[in-house]
A = this chain, B = another copy of it.
Amino acid sequence: MANEVDLVLKGGKIVTPDALFSGAIAIEKGKIAAIATEASCPPGRKTIDVGGKYVIPGVVDPECHLGHARLLEEDFKSETRAAMAAGVTTWGMQLSSTVIRKTMTTFERPDDVPPWLKVFPILPEVGDKHSMVDYFLTSKIMNDTHASEIPALAEKHGVTSFKTQLHLRSGTAVWDVWIGGRQQGIFGYDDGTVYLAMRNVAQLGPPGIYSLHCENWEIARILQQDLTRQGRKDTGAWDDRSPAFCEAGHVRTYAYYAKITGCPLYIQHVTAPETVKEILKAKEEGVKIFGQTGSHYLSLPKDTWKINVPLRSKETIGQIWEALRDGLIDCVGSDHVNYDKRREEMEVKGDVWKTQSGFPSRVEALLPIMLSEGVNKGRITLQRLVEVCCANPARIFGLHPRKGILAPGSDADLVVVDLDRTCKVTKDMIFSSAGWSIYEGWEIRGWPVMTILRGEVMMEWPEGEPRPKIVRQPIGRYIPRQLASK
């Protein structure tokens, strides 16, 4: 007993959803070997004293979109560094089959969209070479073929989560509004595709789950006409174009079919109390349904930038914090996208319609914003943060108990958090290839200062240094998931 282990983290305040205690964590062969009081921890070949800081599980960010605007490989190289720098150890990649490729391609016709089973192998091939973080796949369901592939994707490739972007229902009609439509070959689908997907996900059983981007862009189309007719070009118009009812309306519609099919749902962007209410109604009817919000929806008011689902009012931000605290929203995700463009390239000042949606580097803000705006401002406890940023995403997406919790045998994915570190965000802190952040100039209090992936220290941010350092080569791996029925 109590042999020497590879690594010991001591001097920390260890945080789980259940408990918060001073102690140490022992790591052996990439797994947690012990969680213990300092006195009872086995000796480590290497010991790191975290000096009273908090130790939390590595962040499981359920949503990023790599390969969105350039080659998947390139995004894997740059963007997973950004994630690692920010305390993310497991990344949920929500990808369309069209981005799983080794060379840039274009999509002219629906038939150009590849079946999932054809392209899937490229993902771990590319990712396992370049990823700094572990990652899993949420396959975007873009047509009936994709919906039909669900059982095989689960069985052969451990893909148990799927997603449909409901705002893209009308296909080519959105290409003008959303540049990604053209780039990713969005040709539309109908409720039949969604229903087929739901039926197939339901049949998987746990941890099968179906993610929905809820936002009725068919109605936003009309509202946009109104706004342009009124001459509105200000950034706030982007919220007025797609108000909360467009989001909540989709939840109501598709929660009904989820009830009919018995399909568990994951609402990708809960940004308004109207949506929270629909989720509660669905639960009351027996639907298994979860909700995610984003750190940006918890910090940036509607006149900041355009994004889909839009940013909301300051009052709404407060309501979403409360819903997160009270257990009405389950997860927080970054929805990280990289256009590899400078701010000047994306923004057309004074014209929201011409400005490109989707500010970059969201993953780098995820944990800091939750610490700074959430924990340090008393809106949620650090334990609740661990629940919504680590434990819940891992549980809901079937990564559990390997990821998201602290237990002997689980992957030793850890983040050391300094709740008092204060730092103003500057451009030179950004790892994302886009090179800028919407939060530049924000004084953030509370930062991840060390990230450990499967026992390896990947990132360090020593006190006094201007930014985190990535201290190790990529070791990220694709994480297949297992059906409970197998």
Contact = CB atoms under 8 A, between A and B. Distances in A.
A470 interface: no
Interface string A21-52: 11110101001011111111111100000000
Contact of A2 (B28, B42, B190, B286): B42
Nearest to A8: B1
A219 B245 contact: no
A5 interface: yes
Q: Give the interface SS of chain A, mostly helix, strand, loop or mixed.
A: mixed
A296 to B, nearest CB: 25
Residue of A2, A26, A222, A405 most packed against chain B (CB within 10 A)? A2
A165 to B, nearest CB: 15
25 contacts: A1-B39, A1-B41, A1-B42, A2-B39, A3-B39, A16-B18, A19-B405, A19-B410, A21-B410, A23-B409, A28-B37, A33-B40, A34-B36, A37-B408, A39-B42, A40-B408, A191-B219, A195-B218, A248-B256, A249-B253, A249-B256, A249-B257, A252-B256, A280-B286, A281-B284
A90 interface: no
A60 to B, nearest CB: 13
A117 interface: no
Nearest to A327: B288
B409 A22 contact: yes
A249 B173 CA distance: 25
Given A26-B40, A42-B1, A21 B192 contact: no
A175 to B, nearest CB: 15
B40 A409 contact: no
Nearest to A251: B256
Given A5-B40, A34-B40, 17 more contacts: A1-B39, A1-B40, A1-B43, A14-B408, A20-B401, A26-B36, A28-B39, A31-B37, A35-B408, A37-B409, A144-B222, A192-B221, A195-B219, A195-B222, A219-B257, A252-B253, A253-B256
Interface residues of A, number: 70
A170 interface: yes
Contact of A221 (B5, B19, B190): B190
A283 interface: yes
Nearest to A281: B284
Contact of A21 (B2, B26, B44, B407): B407
Contact of A260 (B10, B144, B245): B245
B43 A39 contact: no
A391 interface: yes
Interface in A37-76: 37-44
Contacts of A410: 19, 21
A360 B151 CA distance: 45
A216 interface: yes
Nearest to A39: B3
A196 interface: yes
A212 to B, nearest CB: 14
A33 B28 contact: no
A252 B401 CA distance: 38
B222 A192 contact: yes
Interface in A180-214: 190-192, 195-196
Interface string A364-408: 000000000000000000000000000100010000110001011
Contacts of A42: 1-2, 36, 39-42
Contacts of A26: 36, 40
Given A1-B43, A28-B37, A21 B283 contact: no
